[in-house]
Amino acid sequence: MNLIVLGAQGVGKGTIAKELAKKYKLTHLATGDILRENVKNKTKLGKIAEPYMLKGALIPTPLIINVMTKKIKQIKKQNFILDGYPRNLKQARSLTQIKIDKVIHLNATKKTLIKRISGRRICDKCQSTYHIKNLPPKKEGICDKCGNELHQRADETPSAIKKRLKIYHKLTEPLIKLYKRKKILIEIETEQPIKDIIKDCIKQI
Ligand code: ADP
């Protein structure tokens, strides 16, 4: 089974995708994590992507299509869950030859999204994510998994967040209609505890 998770910034895509990856033994392919890793390692891709990411803009579509097509080929026969891809219709078209079984759309109000984004903390070393209220680490400011210090992402300034949400509504929401037409869309309400969101996803899958 191959899955896609769709949802606005702050909806909890990464957290839910990781849990579903564990449950169904899927490879978790998160574009944001892949790009941040490249920025950290100062690769050619990272150098091109960084200014876009800092502004909260999407990186050029041909570039991300190239990255993701290669990644999907690399993992060969393994099943996957895509998180952060596709984000526009062109990117969705790059997947037409690939079997996608279900697309999970995670819903939340704008107020909830902003609250979730501002409390989000990330480990630069192992990419684990936390939330100061909803998913705090055992020791404040320290990653449970690797002991590294936690940070706020550089693109989580109010202006970058606003820009990312705008882009989401304009470019990514049309994908919801597309997958609804294909009859593979699952709608999930996220105004409930994470364990209940996961239960809901599993039940609907
Ligand atoms: P969010 O979903 O909260 O914006 P991500 O971690 O998924 O965060 O992505 C961070 C940044 O990486 C995006 O703001 C964008 O610059 C870039 N990015 C991620 N996925 C894509 C994509 N599919 N197409 C273009 N740019 C992307």
Q: What is the pLDDT of residues 135-157, one digit of tens each?
A: 899 999 999 999 999 999 888 87
Which tops the pLDDT comparison, 188 or 75? 188
pLDDT at position 102: 98
DSSP 150: E
Amino acid 7 reads G
SS3 28: strand
Active site residue 181: no
pLDDT at position 157: 79
- Of the candidates 87, 102, 116, 121, the residue annotated as catalytic is 87
Q: What is the pLDDT of residues 84-102, one digit of tens each?
A: 999 999 999 999 999 999 9
8's tokens: 């606005």
> What is the whole-number distance in angstroms between the Cα of residue 203 and the centre of ligand 1?
28
In the sheet where 129-131 sits, what is the strand order? 129-131, 120-123, 150-151
pLDDT at position 77: 81
Is the pLDDT at 158 greater than 80? The verdict is no
pLDDT at position 133: 87
pLDDT at position 159: 79
Residue 117 banded pLDDT, cuts 50, 70, 90: confident
First to last CA, the chain: 10
- Give kind and range of the element (H or E) at residue 105: strand 102-107
> 30: which residues sit within 8 A by CB, 6+ positions away?
14, 17, 83, 84, 127
Task: Tell me what the pLDDT averaged over the chain comes to.
Answer: 93
What's the half-sphere exposure (Cβ side, CA atoms, 13 Å) at 14? 18
pLDDT at position 118: 85
Residue with tokens 């033994």: 25
pLDDT at position 160: 80
Quick one: which atom of ligand 1 is closest to the CA of 86?
A: 23
> What is the whole-number distance in angstroms between the Cα of residue 31 and the centre of ligand 1?
6
Residues within a 6 A CB radius of ligand 1: 9, 31-32, 35, 52-53, 56-59, 64, 84-85, 87, 91, 155, 164
Distance CA 59, CA 57 (A): 6
Active site residue 153: yes
Residues 9, 15, 16, 17, CA torsion sign: positive
> 109: which residues sit within 8 A by CB, 6+ positions away?
191
pLDDT at position 6: 96
Is the pLDDT at 113 greater than 90? The verdict is no
Active site residue 13: yes
Q: What is the pLDDT of residues 17-74, one digit of tens each?
A: 999 999 999 999 999 999 999 999 999 999 999 999 988 889 999 999 999 999 999 9
Distance CA 121, CA 49 (A): 21
pLDDT at position 32: 93
pLDDT at position 183: 97
Nearest CA to ligand 1 atom 1: 9
